[in-house]
Structure 1
Amino acid sequence: MPTTEAPIIPKRQAWRALTALCIGLFTTMVDQSLVAVAIPHIREDLDASVNQVVWVSAIYLLMFAAPLLVTGRLGDRFGQRNIYAIGLALFVASALTCFFAPTIEMLIVVRAVQGLGASLMNPQPFSVINQIFPKHRRGAAMGVWSAVAGSSGLIGPVLGGVIVGTAGWRWVFLLYVPLGLLALVMTLRWVPKLPTAVARIDLTSVVISIVAVFAVVFTLQQGPETGWPVWIWGVLALGLIAAVVFVLLQRRASRLQLPALMPLELFSIRNFTLGAISVTTLGFTVYSIQLPIMLHLQSGAGLSSQLAGLLIMPMAIVSISLAPIVGRLADKLRPGIVSMIGFSSLITAMVLFASLMRPGIAPWWLLIPIVLLGASNALCWSSNSTISMRGLPRHLIGAGSGFYNTARQVGAAIGSASLGAVMQVGAQTTDISSAMGNAMLLPIGVLLIGLIAVSQFRSDLPDLAPAQN
């Protein structure tokens, strides 16, 4: 029987607040796949080089990922609602400026600002959910959040194809304006002001953490594009050195009992550490497999971009439909069981994709792993998020949310680079469909690590961050 807790806001307002946060979250998460569809049209219209147009997407992802460790902490310090609203306003203003951008250079600069806005927004919903929902409803709320986050990238190619094909690439950015303004009004109206921390933020750690994440993600993005020259390895070395220095600074702060940007006590919490490992493997897989699937459907099976997009739509529909149900199950059952079923299903889906993405096999057979992938997304994301964040004490929620989201984004960058390299090598030795199918085998080994991690979740940990009056 669920425990009775007194939420800090009424149940109806809590769900309204979550709706506001999810609408804003959707705009930031759908961006990568939505804008990717518009890239060829941007290049032609603005007379841009290949290198320039690549940066339209790359700079957004870099500015999204690099500050995440910091932006989660900013929510603790200045209030999650305030930081989320500032990020959303920045995102919307940047989107409107992108619509009018006259040159590729201006578009790249504004996209950097837009990525920063997304970074300010992204960690805050985790913190808010853990504070406004009682424990027995937190899984369902995380399920809704996870459904939006997990399905946004799947909706993007279909939505982008329709918008670019009918109205032009600029209208992709204009789409964010009404959605963002609606989310901003709803956020200011329904998301409550939550308790804040008064501890100072270590600026040295802020700078070093941004350098570390930026350098690592930059290397993973640009290494395959540039052929891994010596200077790219230098950037990677800089990032790794910065990461080591950052950890040493956090250890020093812990030893001297000073405020730390990333308190190392986070990693003494078993479920959080295991959840960070498993979400990295999820990011590696889910954000990297879209490209080989779409290349097989279009270049291998000969489908149009619109038809290929419609074929993968059931993935998003199943994920969105199941995620709230899975979240409620995670509240009642041992979440590790739900996560293990999800990871096992995801591995099965990868095996089916690898088997069916072959020349001569009708593309409609892919509906089987596509639907299974949608169900796996719902099972994995919501349960993993719920159990990872549920046991964090209030003063660690912001830092934990920032690290959790950073792990997901770094996993996505590693996955994209790794699958890109495998696809490039495979395309030189076999047909396009077989090359894409073979690439789908790579995530299986990574997902096995995630499966082992979630199998070690403990369900008897006390809830340290309950909603309270």
Structure 2
Amino acid sequence: MDRPWPAMWSIVLGFFMILVDTTIVTVALPRMQEDLGTSLNSLIWVTSAYLLAYAVPLLITGRLGDRFGMKNLYLIGLVTFTAASLWCGLSGSVEMLIVARVVQGLGAGMMTPQTMSMITRMFPPAQRAQAMSIWGATAGLATLVGPIAGGLLVDGPGWTWIFFVNIPVGIVALVLAVRNVPRFSRRSHGFDWIGVVLSAVGLFLLVFGVQEGNVYDWGTITSNLQIGSWSTGIPVTVPALIIAGIVVMIAFVLWQAVNPREPLVPLSLFRDRNFSVANIAIAMMGATVLTLAFPITLYFQQVHGLSPTGAALMTTPMAVLSGVLAPVVGRLINRVNPRWLAVGGFASIAVGLVWLRALMEPDTSRLLLLLPFLLLGLGNALIWGPLSMTATRNLPPRMAGAGSGVYNETRQIGSVLGSAAIASIMSSNIASQIAAVSPGGAAPAGGAGEAAQTGVLPAVLHAPFATAMGDSLLLPIALAVAGMLASLVIGRPVDRGAWSEN
């Protein structure tokens, strides 16, 4: 292609917009809770529903792009996402908002695999590393910019504008994509609808079980399973849902192995060690980014009394440093073993979170609290580009659609399970910490989720709430360490460029 860069930046704009929406809601949660009159756990579903709807179609939309045209599917997804953003902003209840977010996630799921596949097709190998690094850095930067943009909009025109702002951006992205993005040759593919159903059901059962577990005290959800007027008389418990989700996902993998036609996930992809390792690492990164955002945002708003904008701006060093370093990392990918870039990135994030957790006290200086975010920004810049390049570097062109779909799917699975897990962990930590300072050792009426009400908490609750949020950071710390260990296994790529270290 003669002019790939204008097409690249046109794609990046739409990709940036849909990824901002994975975290932009986080900073608006207290205000949304007040306006919609709902619980914190219900509001977590505003994020989880988007992530789940985003994740489920990724495996098949990569194939759909190969068959019906990557540009066509990208444009359809962009229109769907933009229209659903209007619906989100107009929603008057949390239930309607969740439904609109599902549609928004479906649009995002159509777009994402096409971006990665189109970049692979547009750029020659010599330029592909830099282009893929920009794509990866866009993913990382978007998840950091989301809370900042959300804070400014919530404190300005209101939380509905975290969705309305997508409309002009979506229109501009649509015009640029129509004008600059070329059309690519198509490839015929079969569609594994059994695989689609199994993956969707398995993911939903896992996410619902993990996120809602604390609400039902990890016990019985209903006394019996009812479908219309028919009842099984069998109790439905949280552990049963999680186990069922795992069983269904195992069945999905087995079906992929024995499917006589074209499977949804060609298991041959995982014969490439770098592809397999990059998928594990990016799942850890997706989960890390989501799980650190919730407790940090609530700590700044509830304990330090910051506005949504103020809480979001506390993360500015992370976003700025990540954006500044992304082009530098892009130039290093062909000269430095990406293993060490990714390992250094995860280590930086883990150390930054350990440092931040140690500082999360009610009276800690806000200036001091800014310092760990420099390490988080450094880590973020070192991870996204090297991992995305590692995942795609050895794949043949005929596997580009399937490979990009699987890679983005694992990232989203990490994000959605991380979102569900952090909701449960925060709720449990709040309950135990608040109960410790309440008369008789009992948590306040209304449950753990209601302890984090809008506005500043009473001074007596600042310390236990800060401890609860700090303890919640143990999850992203563990995820970052797991990502670091996975990245250590990254091996030599086929087209390793200038670096030769094994």
Change over 3 Å in CA distance of 1:302–1:93 after alignment to 2: closer
Alignment check: 8 A CA contact 1:69 1:209 kept: no
Change over 3 Å in CA distance of 1:42–1:341 after alignment to 2: closer
Shift of 1:74: 1.7
Alignment check: 8 A CA contact 2:51 2:415 kept: no
Amino acid at match of 2:287: F
Residues paired across the two proteins, number: 450
- Aligned partners of 2:420 and 2:191: how far apart in 1? 33
2:454 is the alignment partner of 1:448: no
- Aligned partners of 1:97 and 1:298: how far apart in 2? 28
- Aligned partners of 1:354 and 1:250: how far apart in 2? 42
Which stretch has the larger CA shift, 40-49 or 374-383? 40-49
Q: Give per-residue Cα distances to partners, 1:271-294, cap 9 Å, x unaligned.
A: 000001111111221211012222
- Aligned partners of 1:422 and 1:47: how far apart in 2? 22
Match of 1:246 in 2: 252
Alignment check: 8 A CA contact 1:17 1:190 kept: yes
Shift of 1:103: 5.3
- Aligned partners of 1:331 and 1:32: how far apart in 2? 30
- Aligned partners of 1:249 and 1:145: how far apart in 2? 32
Alignment check: 8 A CA contact 2:27 2:297 kept: no
Amino acid at match of 2:145: I
Alignment check: 8 A CA contact 1:359 1:434 kept: no
Shift of 1:359: 4.0
Amino acid at match of 2:338: P
Question: Helix, strand or coil: the match of 2:147?
Answer: helix
Match of 2:184 in 1: 194
Kindly report which structure 2 residues correspond to 1:366-381, keeping only aligned pairs within 5 A, or say none: 366-381=369-384
Taking structure 1 as the reference length, the TM-score comes to 0.88
Taking structure 2 as the reference length, the TM-score comes to 0.83
2:178 is the alignment partner of 1:145: no
Shift of 1:349: 1.2
Match of 2:490 among 457, 460, 464: 457
2:282 is the alignment partner of 1:292: no
Amino acid at match of 2:126: H
Alignment check: 8 A CA contact 2:291 2:475 kept: no
Q: Give per-residue Cα distances to partners, 1:204-228, cap 9 Å, x unaligned.
A: 2222222222322333333344433
Structure 2 gaps of 5+ residues are: 221-235, 434-462, 497-502
Amino acid at match of 2:270: F
Shift of 1:47: 5.8
- Aligned partners of 1:458 and 1:111: how far apart in 2? 39
Match of 1:336 among 336, 339, 354: 339
Q: Give per-residue Cα distances to partners, 1:47-68, cap 9 Å, x unaligned.
A: 6676765543332222112222
- Aligned partners of 1:36 and 1:460: how far apart in 2? 37
**CA RMSD between the two structures:** 2.4
Amino acid at match of 2:308: S
Match of 1:233 in 2: 239
2:267 is the alignment partner of 1:264: yes
Match of 2:144 in 1: 154
Match of 1:436 in 2: 469
Match of 1:317 in 2: 320
- Aligned partners of 2:195 and 2:428: how far apart in 1? 39
2:8 is the alignment partner of 1:22: no
2:439 is the alignment partner of 1:409: no
Shift of 1:262: 0.7
Match of 2:72 in 1: 82
Kindly report which structure 2 residues correspond to 1:110-125, keeping only aligned pairs within 5 A, or say none: 110-125=100-115
- Aligned partners of 2:76 and 2:190: how far apart in 1? 20
Question: Helix, strand or coil: the match of 1:200?
Answer: coil
Match of 2:456 in 1: none
Shift of 1:373: 0.6
Match of 1:213 among 180, 197, 203: 203
Match of 1:59 in 2: 49
Alignment check: 8 A CA contact 1:141 1:324 kept: no
Change over 3 Å in CA distance of 1:286–1:43 after alignment to 2: closer
Match of 1:387 in 2: 390
Change over 3 Å in CA distance of 1:41–1:438 after alignment to 2: closer
Match of 1:172 among 125, 137, 162: 162
Question: Helix, strand or coil: the match of 2:315?
Answer: helix
Shift of 1:361: 2.6
Amino acid at match of 1:392: L
Percent identity of equivalent pairs: 40
Alignment check: 8 A CA contact 2:151 2:307 kept: no
Amino acid at match of 2:181: V
Alignment check: 8 A CA contact 1:69 1:399 kept: yes
